[in-house]
Amino acid sequence: MKPIILVGFMGSGKSTIAKELARIYSWPLIEMDAAIEDNMKMSISDIFSEYGEDYFRELETALLQESVNRKAVIATGGGILSKKVNQEILKKQPLVFYLEGSFETLNRNIKQDKVNKRPLAKGNNDVQLKKLLNSRLSTYEDIASYIIPIDNQSVTDIVLKIQQVIKEMV
Ligand code: S3P
């Protein structure tokens, strides 16, 4: 069985949904941002400010390359597709779920986070954030094996939908 991989913009619930799927299937969870923070013993914000975004993206690629060989549930970071090499890696995977939400839903979720750990959301106003989302939309759609709408859906609804797809596949 191949890994279950979640992609989508910041605030789409990748971490929450991945955690739930990992629990249900009793598979290891790879939360990429958290794993990078653990490995580096630094927060994502500090990695961005001390080493720059490009360095963070290199760490992401290395971890992705390693993670896709594992039977695990993988929550990627929202910018994982900004590198072509990551797109190529993910295109070969059969279980890439894109959690697709409107800007309103995503922005609400981002703003609801008590601690804003996201350097790209912190410095960006709504117009810039929407622009970033729009610049990524077609790549998410292109790379995804399945598109899962999240607007007005509960975590349970979304998890059930993903489970249904997996059940039909195997
Ligand atoms: C990023 C999203 C974040 C994190 C980093 C960069 C992005 O992950 O990887 O702050 O470029 O969209 P989440 O989508 O889990 O917030």
pLDDT in tens, 62-113: 999 999 999 999 999 999 999 999 999 999 999 999 999 999 999 999 998 8
| Residue 89 DSSP class | H
Calculate how far, in angstroms, residue 156's C-alpha sits from the geometric centre of ligand 1. Answer: 23
pLDDT tens-digit map of 130-168? 999 999 999 999 999 999 999 999 999 999 999 999 999
Residue 78 near ligand 1, beta carbon < 6 Å: yes
Residue 79 near ligand 1, beta carbon < 6 Å: yes
Q: Report how far residue 43's alpha carbon sits from residue 36's, in angstroms, rounded to the nearest whole number.
A: 8
Calculate how far, in angstroms, residue 114's C-alpha sits from the geometric centre of ligand 1. Answer: 16
* Closest listed residue to residue 96, CA positions, set 18, 36, 16: 18
Q: Report how far residue 157's alpha carbon sits from residue 84's, in angstroms, rounded to the nearest whole number.
A: 32
Long-range contacts of 123-130 (CB under 8 A, 24+ apart): 129/103, 130/103
- Ligand 1 pocket test, candidate residues 14, 16, 33, 135, most atoms within 8 A of CB: 33
Q: The tokens of 67 are what?
A: 């993670």
Q: Whose CA is nearest to atom 9 of ligand 1?
A: 77
pLDDT for residue 125 is more than 90: no
Q: Report how far residue 75's alpha carbon sits from residue 33's, in angstroms, rounded to the nearest whole number.
A: 8
Instruction: Give the per-residue pLDDT at 119.
Output: 85
Instruction: Give the per-residue pLDDT at 139.
Output: 98
Instruction: Give the per-residue pLDDT at 106.
Output: 97
Q: Whose CA is nearest to atom 8 of ligand 1?
A: 77
Confidence band (pLDDT; 50, 70, 90) for 127? very high
pLDDT for residue 116 is more than 90: no
Amino acid at 73: V
| Residue 74 DSSP class | E
Q: How many residues does the chain have?
A: 170
Would you say the pTM of this structure is higher than 0.95?
Answer: yes
Calculate how far, in angstroms, residue 36's C-alpha sits from the geometric centre of ligand 1. Answer: 12
- Residue-by-residue DSSP string for 21-57: HHHHHT--EEEHHHHHHHHHTS-HHHHHHHH-HHHHH
Q: Report how far residue 103's alpha carbon sits from residue 93's, in angstroms, rounded to the nearest whole number.
A: 27
Calculate how far, in angstroms, residue 10's C-alpha sits from the geometric centre of ligand 1. Answer: 6
Q: Which atom in ligand 1 lies closest to the alpha carbon of residue 9? A: 14
What are the start-end ranges of the H helices in the chain?
Answer: 14-25, 32-40, 44-51, 53-67, 84-91, 103-112, 119-122, 126-143, 155-169
Q: Report how far residue 21's alpha carbon sits from residue 160's, in angstroms, rounded to the nearest whole number.
A: 9
Residue 77 near ligand 1, beta carbon < 6 Å: yes
